[in-house]
Amino acid sequence: MNQLQKIDECEFCGQTQVTVTLVRDKDWMCSICLDKESRVVQAVQKIESAHKTDDGIQSVADIMLSRAVPIFELKAAIDSNPDIPLDQKNYVMVQECERRVIQFQQAMSIKRQELSDLDTDMKLWQVNGQVFAGKLSEQKRAEFTQFDVNYAPKTQTSKSIRTVAGETKVRTKKSFDKTEVNKAAKEYGISATDIQMAVTMKPRATPNSIGREMCEKIAAKYNVPFDSLKAMIIARGMTAENAAKELVQIGLTL
């Protein structure tokens, strides 16, 4: 027994003739009360850690990091806190869930505003690009089709093929909308070239359906949630493959 311990009465539970330990330079506490206080401190620290994590949520990556305090750990911390009455533990847990939902909603609102601002800036440059492109010669202007207000993708010419029976059928190669292809490529993190090639090979497919299908296959390949993968791609401007690898690194898998 060292100088910080003695046989005496516990100042917290009132037990007598027990080994008590000096804490905070003034209180004498038995081992049972020490253990109880330790569990309270740990529970409070976990809850405070969760609050700090929530307060820092600003982007998709930050939202992923908020998983550092899993739900079951938070619930265990609340359940082990003797300062919270038994009939109030679920109530406190619901309060914590509400706090997180509000934080996520605020983070999503910020990201939507950022995307809206980016879209406004993009359109401003696009309009000016169209104005200045209109001052170029026709030959020079042809290099910048996205600024040509009269531009439309060329339709594929039809080809006649003769069947074995001698009948003539018309085969038309499928055309594609370059704008839709680029939009799908950006949304799903897939190469525009890959999407374009797939669209021309599948009669009823659209750039969006092809991009989604390819992105879903990558999500399945790395066993990550599709919605989280898509959110990461849009927020970070990453390819689907790289976004999936990052989700795996931070532990967001199915």
Query: Residue 134: its pLDDT value, please?
Result: 81
Under the banding of pLDDT at 50, 70 and 90, the label for residue 128 is confident
**How many degrees, rounded to 5, is the angle at CA 65 between CA 61 and CA 67?**
130
φ, ψ (nearest 5 deg) of residue 29: -130, 140
State which of 89, 104, 134 marks the end of a domain.
89
* Per-residue CA distances from 241 to 190, 191, 192, 196 (Å): 8, 11, 14, 18
Whether 36 is in a domain gets the answer yes
Q: Could you tell me the pLDDT band of residue 60, with boundaries at 50, 70 and 90? A: very low
Rounded to the nearest integer, the mean pLDDT of the chain is 77
pLDDT recorded at residue 2: 60
Residue 195 lies in a domain: yes
Of 1-5, 67-71, 177-181, the range with the highest mean pLDDT is: 177-181
Q: CB of 174 within 8 A of CB of 153?
A: no
Q: What percent of the chain has pLDDT over 70?
A: 75
Coil, strand or helix at 3: coil
Q: What is the pLDDT of residue 52?
A: 56
Average pLDDT over residues 220-233: 87
Final residue in a domain of this structure, among 58, 89, 120: 89
Q: Would residue 134 count as lying in a domain?
A: no
Residues in the chain, how many? 254
Residue 19: inside a domain:
yes
Is 252's pLDDT higher than 80?
Answer: no
pLDDT at 188 over 90: yes
Whether residue 219 has pLDDT greater than 70: yes
In a domain, 22, yes or no: yes
Asked if the structure places residue 106 within a domain, the reply is no
For residue 95 the two structure tokens come to 């309060």
| Structural domain count of the chain | 2
**Identity of the residue numbered 77:** A
Q: Give the pLDDT confidence of 5-14 residue by residue, as tens digits.
A: 888 888 888 8
pLDDT over threshold 50, residue 57: no
pLDDT at residue 154 is higher than 70: no
Question: DSSP assignment of 12-63, as one string?
Answer: TT---SEEEEEETTTEEEEHHHHHHHHHHHHHHHHHHHHHHHHHT--SHHHH
Per-residue exposure over 63-74, b if at least 16 CB sit within 10 Å of its own CB, e if not = bbbbeebeeeeb
- Determine the Cα–Cα distance for residues 64 and 195; give it in Å rounded to an integer: 29
Is residue 129, in this structure, part of any structural domain at all?
A: no
With respect to residue 230, please indicate whether it lies within any of the assigned structural domains. yes
pLDDT in tens, 25-56: 777 888 888 887 777 667 666 666 655 555 55
Domain boundary among 89, 120, 138: 89
Q: What is the pLDDT of residue 54?
A: 52
Task: Tell me which residue range forms the domain holding 27.
Answer: 5-89
